[in-house]
């Protein structure tokens, strides 16, 4: 009996779905990846490793300029130390890899509302450039229920300097979702949730200009466009 195929990109495991004769590797490509080619390493029991090229094409994203409180851009030493602790904690969460089976890659929109096409948006806060936006913003009033986009296990909740009240859910094999700026959190780490289960409510915590949900989807430790997982796409 041959085990499932395994794949990795730069040493990071990649989600592989399907069955013998129909395997599919679902690869997250970092926003900062340069156009060209990446190599995916494929392994299966009883077979030598193989390398498969993955073409990376150029994509141009828009830019947005925002004004926020100065303390959310030029951090005080105390806030900077807090952010560094949270950055290290987030890196551990992002590296989560479990044997859970994600099943379908289709997801629910976590909250009703207008979806912005903000993934990859180059944001400039108070005239200072920052990293591209790694998720989807959904406009909704404070208190609107937020639900799990897919079944999984809650792996972290907390109050983060930039992201505000946040929930992370592991859906299996490197597929994670993150829900930010919540006014309240209705789950705790270790909880198992079904798709559509309430996990919190929309808020304006963290660095925001108004109430909304920031929703991110991650594959192999890489933020990818959530619109790709919604029925009908972007």
Give domain status of residue 234, yes or no.
no
218 and 148 part of one domain: yes
Give domain status of residue 23, yes or no.
yes
Give domain status of residue 149, yes or no.
yes
- The CATH number linked to 74 is 2.70.70.10
40 and 74 part of one domain: no
Give domain status of residue 114, yes or no.
yes
Single out the residue of 26, 89, 57 nearest to residue 219, CA to CA. 26
177 and 93 part of one domain: yes
The model's pLDDT over 217-226, given as tens digits with 9 standing for 90+, comes to: 999 999 999 9
Provide the number of structural domains found in the chain: 2
- The CATH number linked to 27 is 2.60.40.1590
78 and 41 part of one domain: no
229 pLDDT tier (thresholds 50, 70, 90): very high
96 and 24 part of one domain: no
157 pLDDT tier (thresholds 50, 70, 90): very high
125 and 22 part of one domain: no
pLDDT recorded at residue 117:
63
**Is the dihedral angle over the CA atoms 196, 197, 202, 203 positive or is it negative?**
negative
Burial of 120 per CB tally in 10 Å (0-12, 13-18, 19+):
middle
List the beta strands (DSSP E) in the chain: 6-9, 12-17, 24-26, 36-43, 50-56, 63-66, 114-115, 122-125, 128-132, 136-139, 145-147, 152-160, 164-172, 175-182, 184-185, 192-193, 198-201, 212-219, 222-224
The model's pLDDT over 21-74, given as tens digits with 9 standing for 90+, comes to: 678 889 999 888 889 999 999 988 778 888 999 999 888 777 677 777 776 667
Please check the confidence at residue 123 and state whether its pLDDT lies above 80. no
2 pLDDT tier (thresholds 50, 70, 90): very low
| Average pLDDT of span 63-87 | 80
For 12, the domain range is 5-56
97 and 156 part of one domain: yes
pLDDT recorded at residue 47:
80
147 pLDDT tier (thresholds 50, 70, 90): very high
pLDDT recorded at residue 232:
59
Establish how many alpha carbons lie within 13 A of residue 100's alpha carbon, considering only the half-sphere containing its beta carbon. Answer: 21
pLDDT recorded at residue 1:
34
């Amino acid at each position: 009996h041959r085990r499932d195929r395994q794949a990795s990109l730069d040493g990071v495991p990649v989600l592989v779905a399907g069955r013998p004769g129909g395997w599919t590797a679902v690869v997250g490509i970092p926003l900062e990846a340069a156009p060209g080619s990446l190599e995916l390493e494929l392994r299966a029991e009883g077979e030598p490793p193989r390398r498969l090229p993955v073409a990376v094409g150029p994509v141009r994203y828009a830019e947005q300029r925002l004004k926020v409180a100065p303390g959310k851009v030029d951090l005080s030493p105390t806030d900077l130390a807090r952010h560094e602790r949270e950055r290290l904690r987030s890196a551990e969460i992002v590296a989560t890899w479990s044997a859970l089976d994600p099943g379908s890659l289709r997801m629910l929109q976590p909250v009703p509302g207008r979806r912005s096409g903000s993934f990859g948006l180059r944001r400039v806060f108070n005239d200072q450039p920052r990293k591209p936006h790694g998720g989807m913003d959904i406009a909704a009033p404070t208190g609107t229920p937020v639900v799990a986009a897919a079944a999984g296990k809650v792996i972290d909740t907390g109050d983060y300097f930039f992201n505000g009240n946040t929930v992370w859910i592991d859906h299996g094999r490197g597929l994670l979702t993150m829900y930010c700026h919540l006014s309240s959190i209705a789950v705790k780490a270790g909880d198992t949730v079904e798709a559509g289960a309430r996990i919190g409510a929309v808020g304006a915590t963290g660095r925001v200009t108004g109430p909304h949900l920031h929703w991110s989807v991650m594959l192999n430790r890489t933020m990818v466009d959530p619109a790709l997982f919604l029925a009908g796409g972007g």
